[in-house]
Amino acid sequence: MRKIIHCDCDCFFAAVEMRDNPALRDIPIAIGGSVEQRGVVATCNYPARKYGIHSAMPMAQALKRCPHLTLVRGDMAKYKAVARQVFAIYREVTDLIEPLSLDEAFLDVSAVTLYQGSATRMAEAIRARVQQEVGITVSAGVAPNKFLAKIASDWNKPDGLCVITPAGVEGFVTTLPITKIHGVGPRTAEKLHALDIHTCADLRQRPLTELVEQFGRFGKRLHDLSFGHDERPIKTQRERKSVSTEQTYPQDLPTLAACRDALPELIADLERRYARLDPAPAVRGVMVKVKFNDFTQTTVEHADPAPDTAQFDTLLNVGWQRGKRPVRLLGVGYRLAEAPPETQLTLF
């Protein structure tokens, strides 16, 4: 039986800023870009969330919801330094760590003998040390697999701990809303609800063949998760699957021609980012992202091991035709081939 801990720092960027400036602790704050540059919220603290503010929200919209919101420019170098401190504490418990981001990771403690082998006590000790030594809080979920551990870490946020024992899996999963399943976004949820599927118990009532017919390979995944089954191992090596860059423009790009004029600068930045990869994986495809002024967005991709700049122009044309309206953001990227087994990319 595996023992997995999922650790997730609470409103990480905001937590670091509140730690360094206690005056920010009890007021709504958001970390992100400026309104003038059409920035978005990277994260916000819990007082701000009471106003409906969330990550990826345009900063202008956040200020409309909370006019007294305090904006803080992010300091990525500082956040990376704090993340190193947090992960150093994780590594004192286990080397089997799968980072998901700067502030989130899975830990496999199945074979760890600390605290008499109790994953719950390990999670409690990790949380206490991070708070005492780093000055921020971590929520944790303990469960027999990654799927359940990730859900559990969010169950009692902020600064919470949720433990799902092997004996408690059945009772927990049966009533779990399908919206809690990773990968079930608004559209998939809408389709499931239309089929009168609202909980994992409802999913179990449907034949596997029906779910696969309706949702393809994800249907098999939904079927497995509805029973709490998840055999995915911890991946200590992070494989980069893409490299990309994007730009939000101070003024909307009004036409397709204006978007084309913006492409060369984006492609040049993409090439610089790709050149910094060491070693640089082979390219297996290209992609273009277009976000329109109504915040709808689309991504167009094309598989090609030897792309040229003309393909970005072709993909841009396809993407723009889907909306045919002014564009606030453009992005370009490469899909990367699988790295050699010896390659390990560092989190920082």
Catalytic hit among 17, 36, 92, 104? 104
CATH code, domain carrying 116? 3.30.70.270
Give yes or no: 98 in active site.
no
Same domain assignment for residues 18 and 142: yes
* Model confidence at 343: pLDDT above 50: no
Indicate if the pLDDT at residue 344 is higher than 60: no
Tell me, yes or no, whether 92 and 218 share the same domain.
Answer: no
pLDDT tens for each residue of 221-256: 999 999 999 999 998 877 778 899 998 888 899 999
Residues 132 and 63 in one domain: yes
Q: Is the pLDDT of residue 35 over 80?
A: no
Q: Which domain holds residue 330?
A: 242-336
Distance in angstroms (rounded) separating the CA atoms of residues 56 and 11 = 13
d(CA 158, CA 232): 26
Binding residue per annotation — 154?
no
pLDDT of residue 348: 45
Q: Is 308 assigned a ligand-binding role in the annotation?
A: no
Assigned domain for 342 exists: no
Beta strand 297-303 pairing with 70-72: unpaired
Query: Which stretches within 66-168 are classed as H helix?
Result: 76-91, 119-129, 146-155
Report CA Rg, the chain. Answer: 22
Which CATH number belongs to the domain containing residue 312 in this structure? 3.30.1490.100
Q: How many domains does the chain have?
A: 3
| Distance of alpha carbon 257 from alpha carbon 291, whole angstroms | 16
